[in-house]
Amino acid sequence: MSNPIDFILLQKTFLGLLPFGYEILKRNVVDKIKIIPGLDINPYIKTSEGFKDIIAEKIFPSDGPKGFEPIQTYGDDNCLYRAMSRILCGNEDMHVELRVRTFMELCMKKDLYYDDAYLRKLTGLDGYKDSLLESSFDTSTTVKCTDKTSRQQRGFEAGVISTIKPGNYSNMWHIFALANVISCPITSVYPNVNGCLVNRKYMNVHIVPENVRQSNVTYLMWTHVQNTNLRGFTPNHFVPLMPQVSRDQISPPNTTTSGPLSSSSSPLQVTSTSQKRNVSMDQNTKSTKKTRYQGSFMYSSHFSPLWTQQWPCIIASCKSKNHFYCTVCQRALLCAKQGVRDVKVHMATALHQNNSKIMKTQKTLLQTCASQQNAQDKVTSAEVQMAMSLVSSNLPFAAADTFNSLFKSIFPDSEIAKAYSPGRTKTTCIVNGALKPYFRNSLVEQMKILPYSLATDGSNDNGLTKMNPLTVRIYDVNLGKVATHFLDMALSTGGTAEELFSAIDGCISSYQIPWENCVAVGVDNTNVNVGKNNSIMTHVKAKNDAVYFSGCQCHVVHNTSAAAAAALRNTTGFDIEDLMVDVYYWFDYSTKRKSVLAEYTEFCDQDYRKILKHVSTRWLSLEKTITRVLKQYASLKSYFISEEHEGHARFQ
């Protein structure tokens, strides 16, 4: 069974690719869509289980679907996908997956969704681009084009890319793509209000996807999060339309009894009894007896979710719809007679007031456990941060043995310092057992879906195995920038191209990282690395022919400077490398010569600097040694002219 797709990580990955533009995004979508299974789920289509959306109910159009009611969804600008998630699975947990799938659908078929003929196939209507495109996507400020068609195309492309952003507003094109994602017809219900700023014909529409796998129709309604003036109506919220919940009918009392209301009477029976009562009262006009139940008592009030918004301690009761539950007093109370006034009366009672004061001074069990957990988390955070500091500063783990007593001595009042305990053993476990897997797994997951480049170089052949560290250059979605990370150490027992590539490929394959995402490899300039016939480059090219190989530029600069020095020696007979070596060894083992040179530097008004050693096999050391000699050239010249040199002809 394949591992489930982490759509939150996938969304972060696509967000990290936004700066690279549409083409890079589309290429990664094409690669990723191969391993993501299609959405195969039946619409929920059951009676609503949430709270009714009061605002949407007020503007529900007369031509809307019968027997359905709007249900509240969380208004965080992801409401389109939250509403559809509630229809598909009864809750809003799928909203991230639906947004990612909708983005991938639009990204893959951008040209189709820009085509009016394709939209006519989905909706049966013509003219969507002319009617809605410019009001749905920003075609004026994001692109600088005078041509209307170019502005629309680029604005549409920018809108498609922005679909992956959390909280990005949705429009009709997102509903079109969402219908194809769920393979189920969607009816877009748009309020019929005065002052509508768009053509309602294109918003209040039935959408049939390309491939219909489910015949059930889903309903999404455009609404507003606030009860605003409907002039100039612009929706900013989506709610699902769900089948209405059957309401229990409570009838008026039977005239033959003086007891409480009878809940078993049907509406038809109530009407009949009421008519009989009216006839009886007409016949006995002289009777002055009043009916026992009158006015609002004839109706039964239900709990309203608006009460919870005003008083958080008031919630729905499981006892019945005619009760509310007070979490402060831990009591279920009746609200059938006066509704919200029953709640206000209870809130004003002395019992509720006293319980509220007591709760403010007491900690709950959750708060107590959370406090203890937070303290432990702070200690763990300190231990992890110290382990990270040791690694990043390249300090030995043995230093951790001194931190326990040191922190307690420096910070005697800190509870974190008192609980801090790791020595070298625990610090090693934190690094190898916790930090290494965390950072490596994060890097591997990004390499599986993002383009990356590799760089490696082998160690000297002075051991049983040759070490080839693999470093990765990649756009880190967590840091929001291109970063370099260490992946692993590829070990080989030989130095041939086959053995080296086998070690590198084994490391890449063990993490299931595709070579297709590799864009470049950086290696040394030796034949075993970049040779045309049998090298690491030829083996990598066999995996991915598009990989760019970059030789070591430091080697190139070093070889260039060495060739220039050889040309100078052949032309003038002066060997600059020999001079640098001779000057270094002249002063290296003689404290007396160094002290005399220091006197000459003081005389020449220069600072004394140590003479550096040039090594021909060390890259770019010649430039540093020449620069150091030139900074003390006046002092060195005076020294060698004035002092006895024991017959050394090289300094004559």
CATH number (domain holding residue 54): 3.90.70.80
Which distant-in-sequence residues (6+ apart) come within 8 Å of 284 by Cβ? none
pLDDT band at 45 (very low <50, low <70, confident <90, very high): low
| Structure tokens belonging to residue 600 | 């000459």
Mean pLDDT for the chain overall: 81
Q: Specify the pLDDT at position 268.
A: 32
Mean pLDDT value of segment 609-635: 84
Q: What is the DSSP letter of 245?
A: P
- What is the number of residues in the chain? 652
545 and 602 housed in the same domain: no
pLDDT band at 477 (very low <50, low <70, confident <90, very high): confident
Question: Which of 464, 546, 549 lies closest to 501 in space, CA to CA?
Answer: 549
The answer to whether residue 32 is domain-embedded is yes
What is the phi/psi pair of residue 548, to 5°? -95, 130
SS3 181: helix
Q: Provide the residue type at 389 as one letter.
A: S
Q: Specify the pLDDT at position 499.
A: 87
Asked whether the predicted pLDDT for residue 267 surpasses 70, the reply is no
Place of tokens 């130095």: 495
> At which of 551, 571, 594 does a domain end?
551
Q: What percent of the chain has pLDDT over 90?
A: 17
Q: Specify the pLDDT at position 25.
A: 86
What is the maximum alpha-carbon separation in the chain? 150
Mean pLDDT value of segment 150-168: 87
Are 435 and 460 in contact, with CB atoms under 8 Å apart? no
Q: Is the dihedral of CA 165, 168, 174, 178 positive or negative?
A: positive
Model pLDDT for residues 516-566, shown as the tens digit of each residue: 999 999 888 888 888 888 888 999 999 888 889 877 777 777 778 778 888
Q: Specify the pLDDT at position 282.
A: 46
Q: Specify the pLDDT at position 9.
A: 85
Structure-derived torsion over alpha carbons of residues 152, 153, 157, 163, reported in degrees to the nearest 10:
40
80 and 206 housed in the same domain: yes
506 and 525 housed in the same domain: yes
> At which of 196, 213, 243 does a domain end?
243
Q: What percent of the chain has pLDDT over 70?
A: 83
Mean pLDDT value of segment 315-329: 86
d(CA 522, CA 456): 7
Are 468 and 500 in contact, with CB atoms under 8 Å apart? yes
Q: Is the pTM of this model over 0.75?
A: no
Are 611 and 618 in contact, with CB atoms under 8 Å apart? no
Are 199 and 213 in contact, with CB atoms under 8 Å apart? no
Mean pLDDT value of segment 164-190: 91
The answer to whether residue 275 is domain-embedded is no
Model pLDDT for residues 179-231, shown as the tens digit of each residue: 999 989 999 999 887 767 788 888 999 999 998 887 788 999 998 877 655 55
Q: Specify the pLDDT at position 651.
A: 55
The answer to whether residue 228 is domain-embedded is yes
- Classify each residue of 227-247 as buried b or exposed e, where b means 16 or more C-beta atoms within 10 Å of its C-beta: eeeeeebebebbbbbbeeeee
Domain count within the chain = 5
β-pairing, 481-492 vs 518-522, is: unpaired
Are 89 and 97 in contact, with CB atoms under 8 Å apart? no
Mean pLDDT value of segment 143-165: 80
67 and 123 housed in the same domain: yes
pLDDT band at 284 (very low <50, low <70, confident <90, very high): very low
Mean pLDDT value of segment 249-257: 37
- Classify each residue of 139-162 as buried b or exposed e, where b means 16 or more C-beta atoms within 10 Å of its C-beta: beeeeeeeeeeebbbbbbbebbbe
What's the burial of 279, exposed, middle or buried (CB within 10 Å: 0-12/13-18/19+)? exposed
d(CA 320, CA 266): 20
169 and 148 housed in the same domain: yes
The answer to whether residue 477 is domain-embedded is yes
40 and 148 housed in the same domain: yes
203 and 94 housed in the same domain: yes
pLDDT band at 48 (very low <50, low <70, confident <90, very high): low
Which DSSP helix (H) or strand (E) runs through 55?
A: helix 54-58
The answer to whether residue 289 is domain-embedded is no
H-state helical runs in 431-484: 436-447
157 and 53 housed in the same domain: yes
Q: Specify the pLDDT at position 248.
A: 44
**Domain around 409:** 376-437
Where is average pLDDT lowest: 9-18, 119-128, 410-419? 9-18
SS3 613: coil
Mean pLDDT value of segment 98-115: 91
Q: Specify the pLDDT at position 287.
A: 45
Helix 633-642 and helix 591-603: axis angle, to 10°?
Answer: 120
183: left (phi over 0), alpha (psi -120 to 50) or beta: left
3-state helix/strand/coil string of 619-650: CCHHHHHHHHHHHCHHHHHHHHHHCCCCCCHH
Asked whether the predicted pLDDT for residue 313 surpasses 80, the reply is yes
| Structure tokens belonging to residue 75 | 């208004």
572 and 528 housed in the same domain: no
Asked whether the predicted pLDDT for residue 292 surpasses 60, the reply is no
542 and 587 housed in the same domain: no
d(CA 547, CA 305): 60
d(CA 601, CA 231): 87
547 and 568 housed in the same domain: no
Asked whether the predicted pLDDT for residue 314 surpasses 60, the reply is yes
Model pLDDT for residues 419-470, shown as the tens digit of each residue: 888 898 999 999 988 888 888 888 998 898 889 999 988 776 666 778 889 9
Q: Specify the pLDDT at position 454.
A: 92
| Structure tokens belonging to residue 297 | 């008592």
* Greatest mean pLDDT range, 266-270, 278-282, 358-362: 358-362
The answer to whether residue 427 is domain-embedded is yes
d(CA 169, CA 79): 9
Please count the CA atoms within 13 angstroms of the CA of 474 that sit on its side-chain side: 25
The answer to whether residue 356 is domain-embedded is no
Question: How far, in whole angstroms, is CA 327 from its chain's centroid?
Answer: 36
Q: Specify the pLDDT at position 221.
A: 93
Structure-derived torsion over alpha carbons of residues 173, 179, 180, 183, reported in degrees to the nearest 10:
180
101 and 213 housed in the same domain: yes
Give the CA angle between residues 512, 516, 518 to the nearest 5°. 90
More confident residue, 291 or 376: 376
The answer to whether residue 516 is domain-embedded is yes
Q: Specify the pLDDT at position 485.
A: 92
Asked whether the predicted pLDDT for residue 400 surpasses 60, the reply is yes
pLDDT band at 266 (very low <50, low <70, confident <90, very high): very low
